[in-house]
Amino acid sequence: MLPAELIRFKEIGRSITILTAWDSLSSAIVEAAGADVVLVGDSLAMVALGHATTLPVTLDEILHHTKAVCRGFTRPLSEQPMVVCDLPFLSYQCGEDKAVAAAGHLLKNSCAAAVKLEGAEPEVLAVIERLVRMGIPVMGHLGLTPQSVHCLGYRRQAEDKNSQQNILFQSLKLEEAGCFALVLEHVPSDLAGRLRKKLKIPVIGIGAGEDCDGQVRVTADLIGLTSKQPPFSKPLISGRQLFVKALQDWIKQQHPQAKTPTKAISQQGSDY
Ligand code: KIV
């Protein structure tokens, strides 16, 4: 699928679904479920690599996991979901040349067809313009941008009029710079609705309400595998408990005399 197809989906009112994957098992599941786009998000730092934030994940780790995601697909190439990779922290903040090299490295060595990056500061806009000119499609990301966790925390963004105006302005700048879609994270839903109407490119929400052109979720949150889920990403099933119980039952069968651990693994509170 080409980025233009997602813009066409918006035009015809067909909702877009994006799910994350981090390895070949998860990408096979997400492909089978029918997601339009698979995002190899830098959330894999927390979901799969055990980091406390998204900041530590490296470009080579994103590439390593993207290659695994690509190997997990089972459909013919033309029917596979589009793969978008996050550009990790510091791979695009240190100049346009470095950003082109980083994004090009991902697209050259995996099946990824686009990159996502956070923010809309003048330096980021210049990077996006350059990437798009070089033939690298870019998805933007505004609102709660986890790479800025040390400035923003994990709080809901754009609660006041000024910051809403700022996001509106930034989103128009991202569209002008050539982004083919915009992820909007953890902002009031009426702001998402206003953006959806103003922009020609699809607005993909996460914690931004229903009035969006599509939704993106961290798959591990949605299936309850992570120990903490943000309030806007309620799990559909309690994956962790289901898996632990199934494995406990199997272990019990192997040696029935052993005691089952009393403290079952539990979902914890959220940082959001
Ligand atoms: O890294 C990620 O998974 C993301 C989504 C939350 C949109 O950026």
Residue 245 falls within a domain, yes or no? yes
Dist. CA 3–CA 113, nearest whole Å? 9
State how many domains the chain has.
1
Residue 262 falls within a domain, yes or no? no
Pocket test for ligand 1, best of 18, 27, 38, 39 (most atoms within 8 A of CB): 39
Pocket test for ligand 1, best of 18, 65, 182, 206 (most atoms within 8 A of CB): 206
Residue 169 falls within a domain, yes or no? yes
Residue 114 falls within a domain, yes or no? yes
Q: What is the pTM of this model?
A: 0.94
Residue 92 falls within a domain, yes or no? yes
The question of whether 175 is a catalytic residue gets the answer no
Whether 95 and 101 have beta carbons less than 8 Å apart is answered as no
Radius of gyration of the chain (CA): 19
Cα-to-centroid distance, 39 and ligand 1 (Å) = 7
Residue 179 falls within a domain, yes or no? yes
Average pLDDT over residues 110-138: 98
Sequence-distant contacts of 147-150: CB under 8 A, at least 24 apart: 147/42, 147/54, 147/55, 147/89, 147/118, 147/119, 148/118, 148/119, 149/53, 149/54, 149/55
Smallest CA separation from ligand 1 atom 8, residue? 41
Whether 120 and 174 have beta carbons less than 8 Å apart is answered as yes
Cα-to-centroid distance, 248 and ligand 1 (Å) = 32
Residue 267 falls within a domain, yes or no? no
Per-residue model confidence as pLDDT tens digits over 181-198 = 999 999 999 999 999 999
Per-residue model confidence as pLDDT tens digits over 196-232 = 999 999 999 999 999 999 999 999 999 999 988 999 9
Q: Count Cβ atoms within 10 A of the Cβ of residue 78 and give its class: 0-12 exposed, 13-18 middle, 19 or more buried.
A: exposed
Domain that holds residue 215: 3-254
Q: Is 213 in the pocket of ligand 1 (CB under 6 A)?
A: no
Q: Taking the alpha carbons of 70, 50, 35, 246 in that order, is the dihedral positive or negative? A: positive
Residue 248: Cβ within 10 Å count: 15
Whether 21 and 219 have beta carbons less than 8 Å apart is answered as yes
- pLDDT at site 1: 87
Residue 159 falls within a domain, yes or no? yes
Per-residue model confidence as pLDDT tens digits over 30-86 = 999 999 999 999 999 999 999 999 999 999 999 999 999 999 999 999 999 999 999
Whichever domain contains 23, its CATH number is 3.20.20.60
Dist. CA 129–CA 176, nearest whole Å? 9
Cα-to-centroid distance, 133 and ligand 1 (Å) = 25
* Helices and strands: H and E segment counts in the chain: 11, 8
- DSSP letters, 202-252, are PEEEESS-S-SSEEEE-HHHHTT-SS---TTS--SS-HHHHHHHHHHHHHH
